[in-house]
Chains A and B, each alone.
Chain A
Amino acid sequence: MTDQTPSGTLPGDLPARPPRRLGRRGTVQLVMLALLLVLPVAADLLGHPYYVTLASRLTLIAMAAVGLNLALGYGGMVSFGHAAYFGLGGYVAGIGAYHAFDATAFMGMFPGSDNLLVLWPIAMLACGLLALLIGAVSLRTSGVYFIMITLAFAQMVYYFANSWPTYGGQDGLPIYIRNQLPGLDTQDPLTFFLICFAGLVLAMALTSRLMGSRFGAALTMARLNDTRLATAGITPYPVRLVSFVISAMITGLAGALYADLNGFVSPSMLSWHMSGELMVIVILGGVGRLYGPLAGAVLYISMETLLGGLTEYWQLFLGLTLLGVVLFARHGVMGWLAGREPHG
């Protein structure tokens, strides 16, 4: 075994993995999370509940985008139908509350519930099953066909909700009393914000853990080069499908919380505008970056709040910003703030 190392590398010289440091990226990320937590608490202390609710909205939109980012960013699956899961999650919260309020049963069988510990798992399960169905068909295609077929499925769900009068049809369904979490007062804006914040942090931690695992390595390879993945002996399809389902479950949980935040769920949560909004947020923030969805949501909600107060044409500026990001900052706001990702 002496002639195999013509480059002069001896096994003893094998380099170890270079060490990881906090660096600029870590600092920026830490500051973002800290601000997101501290500002609403300060707003609450100063007696501005409006800003606490705004922060909750931002947090939930970011969480929904974290879900989409798993499919779109990390998995390279450009889903234009994630509103289906966002809305379905919302409807689970809405329908649960509706039946709990009326003391009736869903489809005459399942009693309603206003307990979030019941509603959240049901929302995630429902979204997971829907994504399994949609993904199993859609993932047989790729590229522009995948975009269109996910859109088509989401539109089917949208029109279904629109035409189901039991749950408000196109008028939507109000949630009169916010669903309950034992031991906490969910009506309190700050308490509810903290629940949302915990949800976002958990979703991001899950994404990070997932992408660092063997499954994440396979998903990354499915995105970058699925021929290499198959040649190595891993079939890309089930890897994609599983990540698509997890992605939908995260977005669905965000949707359930979002309906409770607004006290209302309507087909607009299922519309393709919503899917587009989530995509815009992911792209603005930085595709396939852990903090991208949060950065994108901050930018999106800031523009909506600040510019939306000045002009109803604020989306023109959103469009220009998106154009700028796509043309000049391919790694999104996070790429610009925190530098490039080490790899991938």
Chain B
Amino acid sequence: MAEAVLALEGLHKRFGALTATDDVSLTLRPGEIHALIGPNGAGKSTLIAQIAGSLRPDAGRILLGGEEITGLSVAARARRGLGRSFQVSSLAEPLPAIRNVMIGVQAQAGHSFRFWKPAERDPRLIEPALAALARMGLAHRAWTPVAELSHGERRALEVACALAMKPRALLLDEPMAGLGPEGSARLTELLESLRLEVPILLIEHDMQAVFRLAERISVLVAGRVIAHGDGDTIRRDPQVRDAYLGE
């Protein structure tokens, strides 16, 4: 088994009497898409916040490429190669799509305290940004303000922003949220093509997409991973059926 790119080891998080994350351990291996599913209120968002760095776990460790990142800030994790997308798009609306992507290229190059040279036409920023946009089928929308993009285009742009950072692991928080069947199918196809480039931890409600994309699926219920395995194992698991049907 190849070494995990991203590993969670025994994460715990409590809010008062509520245990939001209860001894969660999982790994993301090179070349795989690992899906995390669970009913509403299972603690998915809390878990993502801990992985991305906006929330500190009470106990446990998070490792990226074998290095511990548990105590690092959001930005420091991003610089180490953790790319993410948000459940609700988080983009700079008035700016052209490409400027949202270029900031990731710039951060990765580590040159944000350069005060003099023009950046907007710098090919070292523009070319990688355009490549990331093209990867998500958005090259023709590069100079369109985000505010004028369709919902589906924004979802794809979020992923392009993360790709531009040349991440070692991608954390995608419900990338299909709000997409129709057609948009969802298209995004599924694009994510499929990314698999070998960067491993993805996919949090998703769209079961069709999950079963098509993910090699491994973990099911989170009430803060615990109650089942883990490939698509068929999960589909047949009685506990998973209970959790979903019992709602």
Given contacts A220-B92, A220-B95, contact A242 B134 (CB under 8 A): no
Are B103 and A217 in contact, CB atoms less than 8 angstroms apart? yes
Between A and B, how many residue pairs show CB distances below 8 Å?
A: 148
A7 proximity list for chain B (CB < 8 A): 137-140
Residue of B nearest to A1 (CB): B193
Distance in Å: Cβ of B72 to nearest Cβ of chain A: 11
A221–B93 Cα gap in the complex (Å)?
10
Check A212–B135 contact: CB distance below 8 A: no
Given A15-B142, A209-B115, A213-B114: A231 and B137 within 8 A (CB)?
no
Q: Please determine whether A6 and B186 come into contact, CB atoms closer than 8 angstroms.
A: yes
B242 in the interface, Cβ–Cβ < 8 Å? no
For B94, list chain A residues within 8 Å (CB): 224, 343-344
Q: Does A311 contact B (CB under 8 A)?
A: no
CA distance A232 to B74 in the complex (A): 9
* Interface 1/0 per residue, B125-165 and A, CB below 8 Å: 11000100011011110110100000000000000011001
Q: Contact between A11 and B139 (Cβ–Cβ < 8 Å)?
A: yes
Contact across chains for A344 and B75 when beta carbons are under 8 A apart: no
The verdict on A231 contacting B90 (CB below 8 Å), with A6-B189, A14-B134, A17-B143 known, is: yes
Q: Which of B35-43, B116-124, B216-224 contacts A (4 or more CB under 8 A)?
A: B116-124
B107 touches A234 (CB 8 A): yes
Contact (Cβ within 8 A) A210 B115? yes
Taking a contact as CB atoms under 8 Å apart, the answer to whether B143 and A217 are in contact is no
B106 touches A5 (CB 8 A): no
| Other-chain residue from A18, A234, A242 in contact with B75 (beta carbon distance below 8 A) | A234
User: In the complex, what residues of B have CB within 8 A of residue A212's CB?
Assistant: 118-120
Give a binary string over A259-270; 1 marks a CB under 8 Å from any B CB, 0 the rest. 000000000000
Given A221-B92, A228-B103, A343-B145 in contact, is the A13-B78 Cβ separation under 8 Å?
no
- B27 contacts partner chain A, Cβ-Cβ < 8 Å: no
Chain A residues positioned under 8 Å from B189 (CB to CB):
3, 6
Q: Which residue of A lies closest to B105 (CB)?
A: A232
Known: A9-B140, A233-B107. A228 touches B119 (CB 8 A): no
Interface size class of B (residues with CB under 8 A): 35 or more
Q: Which residues of A contact B45 (CB under 8 A)?
A: none
- Which residues of B sit under 8 angstroms from A4, Cβ to Cβ? 134-135, 137, 190, 193
Per-residue contact bits, chain A 203-233, to B (CB 8 Å; 1 contact, 0 not): 0000001101111111011001101111111
**Given A17-B121, A212-B120, A217-B103, CB of A6 within 8 Å of CB of B113:** no
B152 to chain A, nearest CB (A): 11
Q: Which residues of A contact B162 (CB under 8 A)?
A: 231
Chain B residues with Cβ below 8 Å from A302 are none
Say yes or no: A214-B112 contact (C-beta < 8 A), given A224-B94, A233-B104: yes
A148 within 8 A of B: no
Q: Report Cα–Cα, A11/B93, bound state, in Å.
A: 25
Q: Is residue A36 within 8 Å, beta carbon to beta carbon, of the partner chain?
A: no
Bound form: Cα–Cα A228–B84 in Å: 10
Given A4-B190, A233-B107, A233-B108, decide whether A217 and B102 contact each other with a Cβ distance below 8 A. Answer: yes
Q: How far, in angstroms, from A14 to B103 measured CA to CA in the complex?
A: 19
Interchain CA distance A28-B100 in the complex, whole Å: 30
Query: What residues of chain A lie closer than 8 Å to B145, measured between beta carbons?
Result: 343
Instruction: Answer yes or no: B91 CB below 8 A from chain A CBs.
Output: yes
Within 8 A of B (CB), among A276-308: none
Q: Chain B contacts of A215 at CB under 8 A?
A: 112-115
Q: By the criterion CB–CB under 8 Å, are A214 and B114 in contact?
A: yes
Once A5-B134, A217-B106 are accepted as A-B contacts, the answer to whether A230 and B75 lie under 8 Å apart by CB is: yes
A163: CB under 8 A from chain B?
no
User: In this assembly, does B111 line the interface, its C-beta being within 8 Å of a C-beta of chain A?
Assistant: yes
Say whether A233 contacts B165, CB under 8 Å. Answer: yes
Q: Is B61 an interface residue (CB 8 A)?
A: no
Cα of A216 to Cα of B112 in the assembled complex, Å: 8
User: Looking at the complex, which one of B52, B92, B139 makes contact with A9 (CB distance below 8 Å)?
Assistant: B139
CB distance from B111 to the nearest CB of A (A): 6
Residues of A within 8 A of B140 (CB): 7, 9, 13, 15
> Would A227 and B115 count as touching, CB distance under 8 A?
no
Give the contacts of B171-190 with A (CB-CB under 8 A): 186, 189-190
Chain B proximity of A272: nearest CB distance (Å): 31
| Chain B residues, CB < 8 A from A13 | 139-140
Do residues A228 and B90 form an inter-chain contact, with CB atoms below 8 A? yes
Residues of chain A contacted by B73 (CB below 8 angstroms): 230, 235
Which residues of B are in contact with A by a Cβ distance under 8 Å? 52, 73-76, 78-79, 84, 86, 90-96, 99-100, 102-104, 106-108, 111-122, 125-126, 130, 134-135, 137-140, 142-143, 145, 161-162, 165, 186, 189-190, 193
Chain A residues proximal to chain B, CB less than 8 Å: 3-7, 9, 11, 13-15, 17-18, 209-210, 212-218, 220-221, 224-225, 227-236, 238-239, 242, 343-344
- List 22 A-B pairs, Cβ < 8 Å: A7-B138, A14-B139, A17-B120, A210-B116, A212-B119, A213-B114, A213-B118, A214-B106, A214-B117, A217-B112, A217-B120, A224-B95, A231-B52, A231-B75, A231-B161, A233-B76, A233-B78, A233-B79, A233-B107, A235-B73, A343-B94, A343-B96
Given contacts A3-B189, A212-B118, 4 further A-B contacts (CB under 8 A): A7-B139, A212-B120, A217-B106, A233-B78
Closest 8 CB pairs of A and B: A233-B107, A233-B78, A224-B92, A233-B79, A235-B75, A232-B104, A7-B137, A230-B74
